[in-house]
Amino acid sequence: MIKYDGNKGELRQALLAVRAGLTSDDVKVAEEALGRRALELPELARARTVAAYVSVGREPGTRALLEALRARGVRVLLPVLLSDNDLDWGLYRGPGHLVRASRGLLEPDGERLGPDAVTGADTVLLPGLAVDGRGMRLGRGGGSYDRVLARLERAGATPARVVLLYDDEVVARVPEEPHDHPVHAVVTPGGVRRFGW
């Protein structure tokens, strides 16, 4: 069990340290299981538009899932990090249309659709480091997805919000702040957990 002193910074450090210890094989096996489980979600089976992201480093893998969604004919939006840490969006057109960006991220190389494009998504896949039993998500601390969730709320958009994590990243409690929004579900290699709020 991951130990921390109750603040977000300490929990982030502990979770990132565990991820740093994962091997490439660990990440690959988890990605395959995550992809299978995520594709079974009704929220993705019914979706016409999904806002997702390209995993990098030791993040739970999304690349196989992105390809499977595209093969189903789903319109997949990927984030483009702006200089103020807000997110613009572009269409995923396959792995050959991803370019290296700041912070080691991969972004779509095509037209930019604007920050409000996410409000048209049926499902939003959120990156994270942990989620707790209430569905509260811990991100990396940059605030980009806090802005996305606030934008959805302002627009009255209610897409399903789903986090992809490793099994041990579902924790007892995530420190919460007033701007934090809960998610509907978390998918891990070991299963799916839904939150009834």
Q: Residue 6 pLDDT more than 80?
A: no
- Residues 159 and 188: their CA atoms lie apart, in Å, by 20
Nearest to 47, CA basis, from 28, 70, 30, 27: 70
Give mean pLDDT, residues 8-33.
Answer: 92
The predicted-structure confidence for 160-174, as pLDDT tens digits, reads as follows 999 999 999 999 888
Render 119-151 in DSSP notation, one character per residue: GG-SEEEE--SEEETT-BEE--SS-HHHHHHHH
pTM, whole model, 2 decimals?
0.92
The predicted-structure confidence for 143-160, as pLDDT tens digits, reads as follows 899 899 999 999 999 999
Residues 3 and 116: beta-carbon distance below 8 Å: no
Q: Which helix (H) or strand (E) segment is 18 a member of?
A: helix 8-20
What's the pLDDT at 181? 84
